[in-house]
Amino acid sequence: MSDTDEDAEGPAVPLGEGEPVEGAPLARVASRLHYAIGKSEVVRREGNTVIRTPDGPRELAVILEETDEVYFDTKRAFEAAVRDVIGTGPIPTAEE
């Protein structure tokens, strides 16, 4: 790759023109944690983080209150437990 003015023009993939979606993707939050980890430690570190859900943005601590899991041995286990609570599907934008 060369350091030309073309690189500074903007992203190679055009971004949408709609309103940004509130909240962080679950995968981003999950990648900031180290596994194995207890639910209480996740709440301490990331509980105030708002994540994107099919029903709109929600605080992670509130979502974790709805799961019976107390320990996540892997990233996959954490994501599965959260998705069991929030479900899967398209994330609504501010326009929807």
Which pLDDT belongs to residue 52? 94
Token pair listed for 43 = 């709440």
What is the average per-residue pLDDT within 35-39?
96
What is the average per-residue pLDDT within 8-29?
73
Q: How far apart are CA 74 and CA 30, in angstroms?
A: 10
pLDDT band at 96 (very low <50, low <70, confident <90, very high): very low
Exposure letters 64-87 (e unless 16+ CB within 10 A, then b): beeeebeebeeeeebeebbeeebe
Token pair listed for 22 = 């509130």
Q: Pick from 34, 32, 12: which is nearest to 24 by CA? A: 32
Which pLDDT belongs to residue 21? 75
**Percent of the chain surpassing pLDDT 70:** 76
